[in-house]
Protein backbone atom coordinates (compact mmCIF):
# COMPACT_ATOMS: atom_id res chain seq x y z
CA UNK A 1 0.00 0.00 0.00
CA UNK A 2 1.23 3.46 -0.89
CA UNK A 3 0.19 6.98 0.00
CA UNK A 4 1.10 10.29 -1.58
CA UNK A 5 3.03 12.37 0.93
CA UNK A 6 3.95 16.02 0.45
CA UNK A 7 6.53 16.30 3.21
CA UNK A 8 7.61 14.86 6.54
CA UNK A 9 8.56 17.68 8.87
CA UNK A 10 10.71 16.85 11.86
CA UNK A 11 10.95 18.72 15.17
CA UNK A 12 7.41 20.12 15.02
CA UNK A 13 6.31 21.84 18.22
CA UNK A 14 2.87 23.13 17.21
CA UNK A 15 1.19 19.96 15.93
CA UNK A 16 0.29 18.32 19.23
CA UNK A 17 2.01 17.63 22.55
CA UNK A 18 5.77 17.39 22.82
CA UNK A 19 8.23 17.30 19.93
CA UNK A 20 6.76 15.62 16.88
CA UNK A 21 7.18 14.59 13.28
CA UNK A 22 4.36 15.78 11.03
CA UNK A 23 3.45 13.73 7.97
CA UNK A 24 1.77 15.95 5.39
CA UNK A 25 -0.64 14.01 3.18
CA UNK A 26 -1.32 15.28 -0.32
CA UNK A 27 -4.91 15.98 -1.38
CA UNK A 28 -7.67 17.99 0.29
CA UNK A 29 -11.44 18.35 -0.29
CA UNK A 30 -11.37 22.05 0.71
CA UNK A 31 -9.96 25.07 -1.08
CA UNK A 32 -9.50 27.59 1.72
CA UNK A 33 -8.55 30.93 0.19
CA UNK A 34 -5.85 31.51 2.85
CA UNK A 35 -4.40 27.99 2.71
CA UNK A 36 -0.91 27.77 4.20
CA UNK A 37 -0.14 24.56 2.28
CA UNK A 38 -1.65 25.00 -1.20
CA UNK A 39 0.87 22.53 -2.59
CA UNK A 40 -1.16 19.78 -0.85
CA UNK A 41 -4.42 20.57 -2.68
CA UNK A 42 -4.20 17.87 -5.35
CA UNK A 43 -3.41 14.20 -4.92
CA UNK A 44 -0.82 13.76 -7.65
CA UNK A 45 2.81 14.81 -7.82
CA UNK A 46 3.50 18.38 -8.96
CA UNK A 47 6.52 20.31 -10.14
CA UNK A 48 6.82 23.60 -8.28
CA UNK A 49 8.65 26.61 -9.70
CA UNK A 50 9.66 29.70 -7.77
CA UNK A 51 10.58 32.19 -10.47
CA UNK A 52 12.07 34.57 -7.90
CA UNK A 53 14.82 32.00 -7.23
CA UNK A 54 15.47 31.24 -10.91
CA UNK A 55 18.89 32.50 -12.05
CA UNK A 56 18.27 31.69 -15.71
CA UNK A 57 21.07 29.14 -16.02
CA UNK A 58 18.80 26.57 -17.73
CA UNK A 59 20.61 23.64 -16.11
CA UNK A 60 17.16 22.19 -15.50
CA UNK A 61 16.19 22.05 -19.18
CA UNK A 62 19.31 20.09 -19.97
CA UNK A 63 18.71 17.69 -17.08
CA UNK A 64 15.04 17.04 -17.88
CA UNK A 65 14.94 13.48 -19.23
CA UNK A 66 11.36 13.80 -20.51
CA UNK A 67 11.97 17.15 -22.25
CA UNK A 68 9.11 18.69 -20.30
CA UNK A 69 10.95 21.95 -19.61
CA UNK A 70 12.05 24.59 -22.08
CA UNK A 71 13.17 28.19 -21.85
CA UNK A 72 10.57 30.91 -22.40
CA UNK A 73 10.79 34.68 -22.60
CA UNK A 74 9.68 35.20 -18.99
CA UNK A 75 10.85 31.96 -17.41
CA UNK A 76 10.41 28.25 -17.86
CA UNK A 77 7.76 26.65 -20.03
CA UNK A 78 6.44 23.40 -18.57
CA UNK A 79 4.55 20.48 -20.12
CA UNK A 80 2.92 18.64 -17.23
CA UNK A 81 1.53 15.91 -19.50
CA UNK A 82 4.97 14.53 -20.29
CA UNK A 83 6.61 15.13 -16.89
CA UNK A 84 7.88 11.99 -15.16
CA UNK A 85 8.38 13.79 -11.81
CA UNK A 86 11.81 12.20 -11.63
CA UNK A 87 13.33 15.20 -9.81
CA UNK A 88 16.23 15.45 -12.27
CA UNK A 89 15.48 19.11 -12.97
CA UNK A 90 15.13 19.98 -9.28
CA UNK A 91 18.37 18.20 -8.43
CA UNK A 92 20.17 20.15 -11.17
CA UNK A 93 18.80 23.57 -10.16
CA UNK A 94 21.52 25.53 -8.31
CA UNK A 95 19.10 28.22 -7.13
CA UNK A 96 16.49 25.94 -5.59
CA UNK A 97 13.81 27.30 -7.92
CA UNK A 98 12.40 23.87 -8.73
CA UNK A 99 10.98 21.21 -6.43
CA UNK A 100 8.67 18.24 -6.78
CA UNK A 101 5.75 18.21 -4.36
CA UNK A 102 4.37 14.76 -3.71
CA UNK A 103 6.13 11.44 -3.21
CA UNK A 104 4.63 7.97 -3.29
CA UNK A 105 5.64 6.22 -0.08
CA UNK A 106 4.76 2.92 1.54
CA UNK A 107 4.26 2.44 5.27
CA UNK A 108 7.83 1.20 5.77
CA UNK A 109 9.17 4.32 4.06
CA UNK A 110 7.23 6.67 6.32
CA UNK A 111 8.10 4.66 9.42
CA UNK A 112 11.77 4.68 8.51
CA UNK A 113 11.70 8.48 8.56
CA UNK A 114 9.65 9.03 11.71
CA UNK A 115 11.39 6.35 13.78
CA UNK A 116 14.63 8.32 13.54
CA UNK A 117 13.18 10.55 16.27
CA UNK A 118 11.58 7.85 18.46
CA UNK A 119 13.84 8.71 21.39
CA UNK A 120 12.81 12.36 21.11
CA UNK A 121 9.11 11.40 21.21
CA UNK A 122 9.63 9.46 24.42
CA UNK A 123 11.74 12.19 26.00
CA UNK A 124 9.30 15.03 25.25
CA UNK A 125 5.95 13.25 25.32
CA UNK A 126 5.65 13.78 21.58
CA UNK A 127 4.87 11.55 18.63
CA UNK A 128 3.66 11.70 15.05
CA UNK A 129 0.95 13.95 13.61
CA UNK A 130 -0.89 13.18 10.38
CA UNK A 131 -1.73 16.42 8.59
CA UNK A 132 -2.05 17.74 5.08
CA UNK A 133 -3.92 18.34 2.92
CA UNK A 134 -6.40 16.02 4.56
CA UNK A 135 -5.20 12.63 5.88
CA UNK A 136 -8.68 11.07 5.81
CA UNK A 137 -8.82 11.70 2.05
CA UNK A 138 -6.37 8.77 1.79
CA UNK A 139 -8.29 6.61 4.29
CA UNK A 140 -6.69 3.19 3.83
CA UNK A 141 -3.12 4.50 4.04
CA UNK A 142 -4.05 6.78 6.93
CA UNK A 143 -5.56 3.89 8.92
CA UNK A 144 -2.65 1.56 8.31
CA UNK A 145 -0.12 4.21 9.30
CA UNK A 146 -2.02 4.94 12.53
CA UNK A 147 -2.19 1.22 13.31
CA UNK A 148 1.52 0.81 12.68
CA UNK A 149 2.41 3.77 14.89
CA UNK A 150 0.15 2.46 17.66
CA UNK A 151 1.90 -0.91 17.43
CA UNK A 152 5.17 0.91 18.14
CA UNK A 153 3.57 2.72 21.10
CA UNK A 154 4.00 6.12 19.42
CA UNK A 155 1.45 8.81 20.27
CA UNK A 156 -0.52 10.06 17.27
CA UNK A 157 -2.52 13.16 16.36
CA UNK A 158 -4.91 13.49 13.46
CA UNK A 159 -5.01 17.05 12.10
CA UNK A 160 -8.24 17.20 10.09
CA UNK A 161 -10.74 19.53 8.45
CA UNK A 162 -13.49 17.02 9.30
CA UNK A 163 -14.87 16.74 5.76
CA UNK A 164 -15.13 12.99 5.34
CA UNK A 165 -17.78 10.28 5.30
CA UNK A 166 -18.80 9.94 8.95
CA UNK A 167 -18.29 6.18 9.21
CA UNK A 168 -14.84 6.38 7.68
CA UNK A 169 -13.98 9.44 9.74
CA UNK A 170 -14.90 7.84 13.07
CA UNK A 171 -13.06 4.63 12.21
CA UNK A 172 -9.88 6.59 11.48
CA UNK A 173 -10.27 9.00 14.39
CA UNK A 174 -10.64 6.10 16.83
CA UNK A 175 -7.08 5.10 16.04
CA UNK A 176 -5.57 8.51 16.91
CA UNK A 177 -4.66 9.68 20.39
CA UNK A 178 -5.74 13.29 19.83
CA UNK A 179 -7.86 14.96 17.14
CA UNK A 180 -6.79 18.43 16.01
CA UNK A 181 -10.07 19.59 14.46
CA UNK A 182 -10.04 22.70 12.26
CA UNK A 183 -13.21 24.77 12.60
CA UNK A 184 -13.04 27.47 9.94
CA UNK A 185 -16.51 29.05 10.04
CA UNK A 186 -19.83 28.21 11.68
CA UNK A 187 -22.07 29.79 9.03
CA UNK A 188 -22.69 27.35 6.13
CA UNK A 189 -22.92 30.02 3.41
CA UNK A 190 -19.78 31.85 4.50
CA UNK A 191 -17.97 28.55 5.00
CA UNK A 192 -18.65 27.62 1.39
CA UNK A 193 -17.55 31.04 0.19
CA UNK A 194 -14.14 30.83 1.84
CA UNK A 195 -13.44 27.08 1.62
CA UNK A 196 -15.41 25.89 -1.41
CA UNK A 197 -17.61 23.56 0.65
CA UNK A 198 -20.46 23.73 3.13
CA UNK A 199 -19.90 22.80 6.77
CA UNK A 200 -22.88 20.58 7.65
CA UNK A 201 -20.92 17.31 7.44
CA UNK A 202 -17.98 18.91 9.26
CA UNK A 203 -20.15 19.96 12.20
CA UNK A 204 -21.89 16.56 12.21
CA UNK A 205 -18.52 14.83 12.41
CA UNK A 206 -17.44 17.07 15.28
CA UNK A 207 -20.59 16.08 17.18
CA UNK A 208 -20.00 12.42 16.32
CA UNK A 209 -16.43 12.63 17.63
CA UNK A 210 -17.74 13.94 20.92
CA UNK A 211 -20.35 11.20 21.17
CA UNK A 212 -17.63 8.63 20.53
CA UNK A 213 -15.57 9.98 23.42
CA UNK A 214 -12.66 11.28 21.35
CA UNK A 215 -10.20 13.78 22.79
CA UNK A 216 -10.39 16.89 20.63
CA UNK A 217 -8.53 20.16 20.30
CA UNK A 218 -10.46 22.68 18.20
CA UNK A 219 -8.25 24.82 16.00
CA UNK A 220 -9.56 28.08 14.61
CA UNK A 221 -7.61 29.83 11.86
CA UNK A 222 -8.10 33.55 12.48
CA UNK A 223 -8.33 35.26 9.10
CA UNK A 224 -9.10 39.00 9.47
CA UNK A 225 -12.15 40.01 7.49
CA UNK A 226 -13.13 36.44 6.66
CA UNK A 227 -13.93 34.60 9.89
CA UNK A 228 -12.94 36.85 12.80
CA UNK A 229 -16.36 38.45 13.24
CA UNK A 230 -17.91 38.53 16.70
CA UNK A 231 -20.86 36.31 15.73
CA UNK A 232 -18.75 33.54 14.24
CA UNK A 233 -16.32 33.47 17.15
CA UNK A 234 -19.18 33.45 19.65
CA UNK A 235 -20.83 30.56 17.79
CA UNK A 236 -17.55 28.66 17.75
CA UNK A 237 -17.23 29.14 21.51
CA UNK A 238 -20.80 27.94 22.06
CA UNK A 239 -20.18 24.80 20.03
CA UNK A 240 -17.05 24.04 22.03
CA UNK A 241 -18.80 24.72 25.35
CA UNK A 242 -21.26 21.85 24.96
CA UNK A 243 -18.78 19.25 23.76
CA UNK A 244 -17.21 17.44 26.69
CA UNK A 245 -14.48 15.90 24.53
CA UNK A 246 -13.10 19.30 23.53
CA UNK A 247 -10.13 19.82 25.84
CA UNK A 248 -8.95 23.16 24.46
CA UNK A 249 -9.15 25.71 21.65
CA UNK A 250 -6.15 27.02 19.72
CA UNK A 251 -6.32 30.20 17.64
CA UNK A 252 -4.03 30.15 14.62
CA UNK A 253 -3.30 33.63 13.37
CA UNK A 254 -3.11 34.02 9.60
CA UNK A 255 0.35 34.22 8.12
CA UNK A 256 1.49 34.78 4.56
CA UNK A 257 3.50 31.59 4.03
CA UNK A 258 0.89 30.16 1.68
CA UNK A 259 1.12 33.21 -0.57
CA UNK A 260 4.72 32.34 -1.41
CA UNK A 261 3.55 28.99 -2.81
CA UNK A 262 0.81 30.08 -5.22
CA UNK A 263 3.00 31.16 -8.13
CA UNK A 264 4.00 27.67 -9.18
CA UNK A 265 3.10 26.10 -12.52
CA UNK A 266 -0.25 24.86 -11.20
CA UNK A 267 -1.01 28.24 -9.60
CA UNK A 268 -2.99 27.01 -6.61
CA UNK A 269 -4.69 29.76 -4.67
CA UNK A 270 -4.81 33.47 -5.36
CA UNK A 271 -3.63 36.72 -3.86
CA UNK A 272 -5.81 37.75 -0.94
CA UNK A 273 -5.74 41.15 0.72
CA UNK A 274 -5.57 40.03 4.34
CA UNK A 275 -3.55 41.50 7.18
CA UNK A 276 -1.73 39.32 9.67
CA UNK A 277 -3.51 39.65 13.05
CA UNK A 278 -1.36 41.11 15.79
CA UNK A 279 -0.81 39.43 19.12
CA UNK A 280 -3.03 41.91 20.96
CA UNK A 281 -5.97 41.06 18.70
CA UNK A 282 -5.44 37.33 19.18
CA UNK A 283 -5.14 37.77 22.95
CA UNK A 284 -8.45 39.66 23.03
CA UNK A 285 -10.21 36.97 20.97
CA UNK A 286 -8.74 34.24 23.17
CA UNK A 287 -9.99 35.93 26.32
CA UNK A 288 -13.51 36.33 24.95
CA UNK A 289 -13.68 32.76 23.66
CA UNK A 290 -12.43 31.36 26.95
CA UNK A 291 -15.22 33.22 28.76
CA UNK A 292 -17.90 31.95 26.40
CA UNK A 293 -16.66 28.38 25.98
CA UNK A 294 -15.35 27.55 29.43
CA UNK A 295 -12.36 25.93 27.71
CA UNK A 296 -8.65 26.85 27.81
CA UNK A 297 -7.84 29.02 24.79
CA UNK A 298 -4.34 29.69 23.50
CA UNK A 299 -3.11 31.51 20.42
CA UNK A 300 -0.11 31.89 18.18
Residues in the chain with pLDDT values less than 70: 262-263, 265, 269
Q: What are phi and psi of 76, to 5 degrees?
A: -80, 145
Per the CB < 8 A criterion, the answer to whether 118 and 154 are in contact is yes
CA distances from 160 to 179, 184, 210, 240 (A): 7, 11, 15, 16
| Boundary-marking domain end, from 56, 80, 101 | 101
SS (H, E, C) 65-77: CCCCEEECCCCEE
pLDDT of residue 276: 93
Q: CATH number of the domain at 236, please.
A: 3.20.20.70
pLDDT of residue 272: 83
Pair (55, 97) in one structural domain:
yes
Instruction: Give the burial class of 241: count Cβ atoms within 10 A of its Cβ; 0-12 exposed, 13-18 middle, 19 or more buried.
Output: middle
* Parent domain of 260: 2-43+102-299
pTM of the model: 0.94
Q: Can you tell me the distance from the alpha carbon of 185 to that of 236, in angstroms, rounded to the nearest whole number?
A: 8
What number of other Cβ atoms are within 10 A of residue 27's Cβ?
Answer: 20
pLDDT of residue 263: 62
Pair (92, 202) in one structural domain:
no
Pair (245, 282) in one structural domain:
yes
Pair (209, 95) in one structural domain:
no
Strand 2-12 and strand 20-25: the pairing is antiparallel
Q: CATH number of the domain at 70, please.
A: 3.30.70.20
pLDDT of residue 173: 98
Pair (10, 84) in one structural domain:
no
Pair (36, 56) in one structural domain:
no
Pair (95, 141) in one structural domain:
no
Domain count, the chain: 2
Amino acid sequence: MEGIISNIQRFSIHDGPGMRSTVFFKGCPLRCVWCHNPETYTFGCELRYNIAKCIGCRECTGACVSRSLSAGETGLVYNRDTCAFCRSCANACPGGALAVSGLRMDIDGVMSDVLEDAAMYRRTGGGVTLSGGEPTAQPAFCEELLDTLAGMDIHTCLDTCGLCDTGTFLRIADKAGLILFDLKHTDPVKHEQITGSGNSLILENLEALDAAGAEVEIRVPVIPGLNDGEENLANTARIASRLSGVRSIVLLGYHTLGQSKIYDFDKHGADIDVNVPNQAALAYIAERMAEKSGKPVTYR
